[in-house]
Structure 1
């Protein structure tokens, strides 16, 4: 990357931090097992969460007993995290230059974030701060587009993507296999985000970085399209709806 923060992420997440905090999904309960069994995270483990955002995954790390250092380049996102989890340490910094000492953390975790800064240099920076044998964990919630209405919603959203990086493009895989790390191990989970359609469908759409970065009039047009989709979709009727996700998790270990 030529700049520490992708401009779409910087603008979109700063504008949309509030709706991101209220409308983005959490993570499946199995993520706690992944942290324990694959990353070796236990009470007292020091974990750098890079791209921590508003703390959607930080909650899972805290519940695992980790001592979390939440790092994000967008201060507005970390303001939301501090409001929800006031005991967590936060640092405004880019992934390319972590303000952490060499070999100072037991794990580095990126939750629905690594695609924004994936590069050889960033992975090398993660290795620098990891202790020998420490774990790197990458996890994403992705929409389950095998469901018809989710595929239709994604088509509405994707028209505005431009050159914004996304996990589904798989460009994030380019740094792997990475020098000084074991091969990536993949774990698949599923998650159902339940709530009012206005939150889990409309709000989720508006929290997407490249949608949040659009002019207000264009955002309103997108919201209108999404509400029209909700109105004609029987599965989205009622006070509570279910938005299905596929959660993909990857891990590897620092080796000498």
Structure 2
């Protein structure tokens, strides 16, 4: 059994939970647009520097955080997003960008129409048994698929303490550098066999940060899928516990601070 078969044969309960988490963001689209960070420009540049041309598809584009970063680098970007509310926020923020309703598993674009497919904090939501052939179909030969994730830099003591206090709902399996490297080294990419082959994956991390206050950091964490699907009382208790921690740490108790992050990139080329 190859990697993709293992992923698609997960227990039904796991698949249901995956779908619940993946579909949770629309309810928080406005907060997502306001509070989620952008992506380190150096990371977006590295994701695209091996692409054979400027045509970029941002797949699972959300409210356009990564779309905006690719546009700023001069790419010709089309955004595709399955959630209508998220898509509305993207179109409001980036009215000049072509933005389409669609999914990774059914991409509304012609064959070989893009030089790169990007996915910002989204690649792990794709059903690669279906999305892999679709991504290969729309990529031109030599095109690049790259997933980008903003992860917390838990090499800082207070960030590590925040991660521990938040638990798995707040800090998931890809949300710190070491966990991201381990998780993405073996997952989230199309299978390498079949008519369209992909080369060896590459990983890279780029320093990033976001200016936050205790309140705005809590607002950011509240847009994470694990928090969005919590029962209300549990969500309030979790965010209250994190607020107490932030108000006792000297790094975060008063005014603005920089949340240390990395933008981590997983990149693979279509052969």
Give the shorter-chain TM-score range. Answer: 0.7 to 0.9
User: Does the alignment pair 1:216 with 2:225?
Assistant: no
Contact 2:20-2:229 within 8 A present in 1 as well: no
TM-score, structure 2 as length reference? 0.82
What is the aligned partner in structure 1 of residue 186 from structure 2?
173
Residues 57-97 of structure 1 deviation map (CA, whole Å, 9 limit, x = unaligned): 11111112222111122122122211111111222222111
Cα RMSD (Å) of the superposition? Answer: 2.4
User: Does the alignment pair 1:7 with 2:20?
Assistant: yes
Tell which deviates more after alignment, 167-176 or 119-128: 167-176
What is the aligned partner in structure 2 of residue 198 from structure 1?
215
| Secondary structure in structure 1 of the residue aligned to 2:150 | strand
What is the aligned partner in structure 2 of residue 67 from structure 1?
76
Contact 2:204-2:266 within 8 A present in 1 as well: yes
Counterpart selection for 2:63 from 54, 58, 68 = 54
Structure 1 residues 148-163: aligned runs within 5 Å = 148-160=157-169
User: 1:172: Cα distance to partner?
Assistant: 7.6
Counterpart selection for 2:99 from 90, 99, 112 = 90
Closer, same or farther in 2 for the Cα pair 1:220/1:124, shift >3 Å?
Answer: same
User: 1:195: Cα distance to partner?
Assistant: 2.7
Closer, same or farther in 2 for the Cα pair 1:157/1:127, shift >3 Å?
Answer: same
Contact 1:47-1:69 within 8 A present in 2 as well: yes
Number of residue pairs matched by the alignment: 248
| Secondary structure in structure 1 of the residue aligned to 2:110 | coil
| Secondary structure in structure 2 of the residue aligned to 1:191 | strand
1 CA distance for matches of 2:33 and 2:115?
Answer: 27
| Secondary structure in structure 2 of the residue aligned to 1:57 | helix
1 CA distance for matches of 2:207 and 2:222?
Answer: 23
Contact 2:104-2:126 within 8 A present in 1 as well: yes
Closer, same or farther in 2 for the Cα pair 1:159/1:136, shift >3 Å?
Answer: closer
2 CA distance for matches of 1:182 and 1:122?
Answer: 17
| Secondary structure in structure 2 of the residue aligned to 1:6 | helix
Contact 1:116-1:165 within 8 A present in 2 as well: no
User: 1:99: Cα distance to partner?
Assistant: 1.3
What is the aligned partner in structure 1 of residue 41 from structure 2?
29
User: Does the alignment pair 1:108 with 2:122?
Assistant: no
| Secondary structure in structure 2 of the residue aligned to 1:221 | helix
Q: Gaps (5+ residues) in structure 1?
A: none
User: 1:165: Cα distance to partner?
Assistant: 7.0
1 CA distance for matches of 2:257 and 2:159?
Answer: 12
Contact 2:22-2:225 within 8 A present in 1 as well: yes
User: 1:105: Cα distance to partner?
Assistant: 1.2
What is the aligned partner in structure 2 of residue 246 from structure 1?
262
Closer, same or farther in 2 for the Cα pair 1:23/1:8, shift >3 Å?
Answer: same
Residues 4-28 of structure 1 deviation map (CA, whole Å, 9 limit, x = unaligned): x822221x20122122111111112
What is the aligned partner in structure 2 of residue 125 from structure 1?
134
Residues 142-162 of structure 1 deviation map (CA, whole Å, 9 limit, x = unaligned): 111222222222233334379
